[in-house]
Amino acid sequence: MTAKRIWNFNAGPAALPLPVLEEIQANLIDFQGSGMSITEISHRSKWFDDVINDAVARVRRLLRVGDDYQVLFLQGGASLQFCMVPMNFLPAGASADYVNTGTWSTKAIKEAQIQGKPIQVVASSEDRNFAYIPKDIAFNADAAYCHITSNNTIKGTQWAAFPDTGGVPLVADMSSDIFCRPLEMTPFGMIYAGAQKNMGPAGVCLAVVRNDLMERAPADLPTMLRYATFAAKNSMFNTPPCFAIYAVQLVLKWVEETVGGLEAMARRNQAKAEMLYSFVDASEFYTGTADTDSRSIMNVTFRLPSEAAEQDFVAQALENDLGGLKGHRSVGGCRASIYNATPIDAIETLVDFMKNFEAKMG
């Protein structure tokens, strides 16, 4: 099989490890000798039990998740969690803190407010178009939780270290940087992540939720909006998104067994990001948009001298098999998303292209 492949810098859905795609392809008609596709086997079968249990075990090992947390596979993406988090964790009389670091934080805040939930935005970087991660935040000691977005896909910023909330559990949307580096779970009440950036195809959302938080849900919350429902049934109260969970299982296997775990993954990601940022910093043609100390190692955002140059850049890049370099439609500019599955070769190729483009245009 010699399929055409490009260097894929998409922000999400994004590149997956080629060996994962090849394994899915090879087994698509007959999964594990079952005589059925992974899309055709029952979620109540031994075959699928093995898939989901292995995926859960890998999440637990990679993130060193203790028994006081449940690992859940949900649907509706991170966007559904924006409303489910306050539904589950904010009973009457309680309030929560939110930190606003960009588009996705803003949406999370909005979904709590729509429900009339009492929340407080304790910090925001909106004053400078979300180009930085706020510091020295005054958290409320009695907040039920504090919600943050660990990596801001659109603005190209990332928490380098997580804030000390003084014991208030952090709830973090990690859609665009989960598994990019080791994580210490203790400060977190919940982390969640849509799969389609660093973990698998679109259509499944991973959540790791601390047991005690799930008990706060009110009695009139529908079954499918209740985290405890998924926890009680190993994410199979109803039919789960089997194919997407299977793909996540294979990606996590790749992280563990091919890359060598999250320490190795972090070194790899750091090297990729440094290669790209150091080139941008040295250039007078390209300008990074995020503050240096708030830069994301997953989404590298930069501008060119003009919008016309940016359009040319994206178009010519694609002609050279470098795809997905257009910035989010809400902010413009350029963006290279360099998630776990993006190899260092892709960055090298991109930097070469950027040099040549600058030489031609600069």
Closer residue to a second copy in complex, CB, 152/165: 152
Catalytic residue among 197, 254, 272, 326: 197
| 173 counts as catalytic | yes
Among 51, 52, 65, 78, binds a second copy (CB under 8 A): 78
- Using omega within 30 degrees of 0 as the cis cutoff, is the peptide bond preceding 118 cis? no
Contact track, a second copy, 319-338, x by CB under 8 A: --x-xx----x---------
HSE value, Cβ hemisphere, 13 Å, CA-based, for 264: 10
Is 104 catalytic? The answer is yes
Q: Residues 97, 111, 173, 177: which binds a second copy (CB under 8 A)?
A: 111
Query: How distant, in Å, are the alpha carbons of 121, 285, 320 from that of 309?
Result: 37, 10, 16
- Using rule CB under 8 A, residue 36 touches a second copy: yes
DSSP string, 198-242: TTSSSS-EEEEEEHHHHTT--TTS-GGG-HHHHHHTTT-SS---H
CB of 182 to a second copy, least distance (A): 26
Q: How many CB atoms lie within 10 A of CB 211?
A: 14
The set of residues, in sequence order, having a beta carbon less than 8 Å from that of 32 and lying 6+ positions away, is 47
Q: Which of residues 215-244 bind a second copy (CB under 8 A)?
A: 219-225, 237-244
Return the residue of 10, 100, 125, 151 that touches a second copy, per CB under 8 A.
10
360 binds a second copy (CB under 8 A): no
The number of residues in the chain equals 362
Which listed range, 26-34, 185-193, 206-214, 344-352, lies at the site for a second copy (CB under 8 A)? 26-34
- 3-class secondary structure, 99: strand
Nearer to a second copy, 131 or 255 (CB): 255
Instruction: Look up tokens 């070769």; give the residue.
Output: 345
- To a second copy, the closest distance from the beta carbon of 196 in angstroms equals 5
Q: Which of residues 180-219 bind a second copy (CB under 8 A)?
A: 194, 196, 200-204, 219
Q: Point out the residues that are catalytic.
A: 104, 173, 197
